[in-house]
Chains A and B, each alone.
Chain A
Amino acid sequence: MKLLKKFIPALIIIAFSFLYIATSKVVPCDDYCRQLYRLDTMVIKNRSYVGYVGSCISGKPKNDTLCISIFNSQGIDWNLFADTVCTYAAQIGMTGQTILVLKYGSPPDTLAKKHCP
């Protein structure tokens, strides 16, 4: 029993280390991922109504459909906004993307859908 008690801190540290590694490790960021981050930065800048720019499927970062979550959908031409996102995407070499502009909610409303050249 005394020996077992000596192992308790080691068990605590191992358990917390496992959790720490599982929640701190990052998905390796490839070229596509870096492009996504750049696009996210460009779209978010001065647009407080944008919540998220990225892959539509969490956990599968690489696909050709991008989702943009919008919080406040009033007074903005979303087709024009999607065109602007396409322009930004083209500037950083992301071609052939489908842009889905979604009003955040459950289920989300589609505000605009655009196939970028």
Chain B
Amino acid sequence: MSLFTRKLAFHIVLPLAAGVAIYIFFRQNTWFHYHFLPPGFHPIVLPRSPLNDVFIFNVPDFCWAYSLASSLFYWGRIDRVRNRFFPVFVLLLIVTAESLQYFFSSRFTFDWIDLTAAILAFLLSFLLNGRHEIA
């Protein structure tokens, strides 16, 4: 496996898989569980604590945002995107996705911690994968 493929796996596939795994195995009674998993499926129950809540509810959003930002930065690297506003576009995309939940509150749940986690994920991905795009 080439270094590039390993980086793709580490920065895109792994965080995405981790986020989905936390969502499937630790969240309770979600739309995804309701529609895609068998009724007898029992997620793992963690003791109630602020730290566990962050793990269950915010880490998957962080992983999703990190993976999305990384995949766009890697595409930018492959396609030699040299637009200095490209990282701004990626940030706007992530912030918009999180913020849209505020306007569709009957179907989604907006959370400031989710938004913060998504912005932190973008920053981390930018530092690790996206900085050379604005050269």
A interface residue numbers (CB < 8 A to B):
5, 8-9, 12-13, 16-17, 19-20, 22-28, 44, 48, 50-52, 54-55, 57-61, 69, 71, 104
**Neighbour of B33 across the interface among A13, A20, A58, A104, CB < 8 A:** A58
Also in contact, A104 and B20, with CB within 8 A (given A16-B64, A24-B108, A57-B39): no
Q: Which residues of A contact B34 (CB under 8 A)?
A: 27, 59, 61
Q: With the chains together, A59 CA to B35 CA distance in Å?
A: 8
B interface residue numbers (CB < 8 A to A):
16, 19-20, 23, 28-34, 36-43, 45-48, 60, 64, 67-68, 71-72, 75, 78-79, 93, 97, 101, 106-109
Closest 3 CB pairs of A and B: A25-B31, A51-B45, A16-B68
**Neighbour of B45 across the interface among A8, A23, A26, A69, CB < 8 A:** A69
- Whether the pair B29, A8 counts as a contact (CB closer than 8 A) is no
- Whether the pair A8, B64 counts as a contact (CB closer than 8 A) is no
Give, as a whole number of angstroms, the nearest-CB distance from A90 to chain B. 23
Q: Which residues of A contact B20 (CB under 8 A)?
A: 19, 23
Also in contact, A50 and B48, with CB within 8 A (given A26-B109, A58-B42): yes
A-B contact pairs, 20 of them (CB 8 A): A5-B79, A9-B75, A12-B72, A16-B68, A16-B71, A17-B97, A19-B20, A22-B31, A24-B101, A24-B108, A25-B31, A25-B107, A26-B30, A26-B108, A28-B107, A58-B39, A58-B41, A59-B29, A60-B39, A104-B45
